[in-house]
Amino acid sequence: MTTESRTERLAARSFYDELISLRDQQRIDRETAEKLAKGSELPWELNPQGYMKWYMAPTMTDIVMNVFVMYVQRIPPRSRSGKQLTQGHQLGFIWKGGPGHTIVDEVRFDWNYRDLVQVPLRVPGCVVQHFNDSDEDVEIMFCSLNTAHAMSVDRGSGFDQIEPCPEWREHLRKKG
């Protein structure tokens, strides 16, 4: 069995040709990619963070561009999202409902309908959780740059679910 060195493996490839091939494939993909994300066609997903409807995600390959991560998070009345460690650098527009609040690193920020939550970019990351203080659903539209492929999902500080939302715990209990 021969072991080939990294130099030999790299020398056997043409990275320029691979780049051109990638460009050509991206052009083909964009011809048939979705250019309109209709909210009515997007399913609600229940996960440890809560109810989410994804418009753009790092792993979506059928959309015309994926330079952003964009989703709506629905928080039921008097409930909360999961608690996450994230690098931040995220915007959350209060799309429906309110009032509520967000905790970023143990500091509370109260918000209402049409407010904009700005989670700061911090090298060590931020611990973030959102709360619905009302008796109706709250929906928050989140947007951030998609750096998952350029910087990894951890983005240098980690990306961890610290605590799931109550609805996820109930979902797991029912699945039993």
What percent of the chain shows pLDDT beyond 70?
98
pLDDT tens column, 7-61: 999 999 999 889 889 889 888 988 999 999 999 999 999 999 999 999 999 999 8
Distances 40 to 72, 114, 174 between C-alpha atoms, Å? 12, 21, 27
Structure tokens at 67: 């330079």
pTM: 0.83
Architecture per CATH, 39-175: Sandwich (2.60)
Taking alpha carbons only, the member of 50, 51, 69 closest to residue 59 is: 69
